[in-house]
Chain A
Amino acid sequence: AQSVTQLGSHVSVSEGALVLLRCNYSSSVPPYLFWYVQYPNQGLQLLLKYTTGATLVKGINGFEAEFKKSETSFHLTKPSAHMSDAAEYFCAVSDYDTGNQFYFGTGTSLTVIP
């Protein structure tokens, strides 16, 4: 079965600093990997995804993530944090074998300090 581990339930960065949110997954077949962002009292918005092809994927709002098969990781980064990036971030995995459900991590709450 698939699973996702997000290290660090809370991450604080200064405005303008690098954002790094960690995600490791387990999957018995090549995974599809996703990052979603959730602002307070809102739904889940897709930031970016990896399905096949280039392992470095770029998403919205300047975020990017790199699929590293050898490390079973899909860490989310942004070179320079903005106040508006403060939110909850969820990593998720699915695969074409299960075909359907997404498995979510427990989430990382990002705080941006002015």
Chain B
Amino acid sequence: EPEVTQTPSHQVTQMGQEVILRCVPISNHLYFYWYRQILGQKVEFLVSFYNNEISEKSEIFDDQFSVERPDGSNFTLKIRSTKLEDSAMYFCASGGPNEQYFGPGTRLTVT
């Protein structure tokens, strides 16, 4: 069964460093998403991506965040200068408005 994969599973970085979180969506899906879950809190939408551009983004997705689909399979989330409050689980998803499949997540720890 096709699934969304994410790498790495855990990333530790120092405050101010750049990180890139990687995702491989399900191959025939057209919409891609990033969500964030701070420990003990709900899952929050960050951004959606369709047809090689951002289709929606939340207030959380400020200028320090960017997304890219560098090739036909990968979908990346870049955080330019990490802050302590960026520590969270980041989930990639693919699908569409009536169904989204989530990856296992990348736990980002900013020290």
Which residues 14-55 of A have a CB within 8 angstroms of B?
32, 34, 36, 42-46, 49, 51
The binding surface of chain B is classed by DSSP as: strand
- Give B2-20 as 1s and 0s: 1 = Cβ < 8 Å from A's Cβ atoms: 0000000000000000000
Number of interface residues of B (CB under 8 A): 24
Residue of B nearest to A94 (CB): B97
On whether the beta carbons of B42 and A43 are closer than 8 Å, the reply is: no
Smallest CB–CB gap between A1 and chain B, Å? 11
On whether the beta carbons of B97 and A32 are closer than 8 Å, the reply is: yes
Q: Which of B42, B99, B100, B103 contacts A90 (CB 8 A)?
A: B42
Number of interface residues of A (CB under 8 A): 25
Bound Cα distance A57, B13 (Å): 43
A99 interface residue (CB < 8 Å to B): yes
Chain B positions within 8 Å of A, measured between CB atoms, are: 31, 33, 35, 41-45, 48, 50, 55-56, 58, 91, 93, 97-105
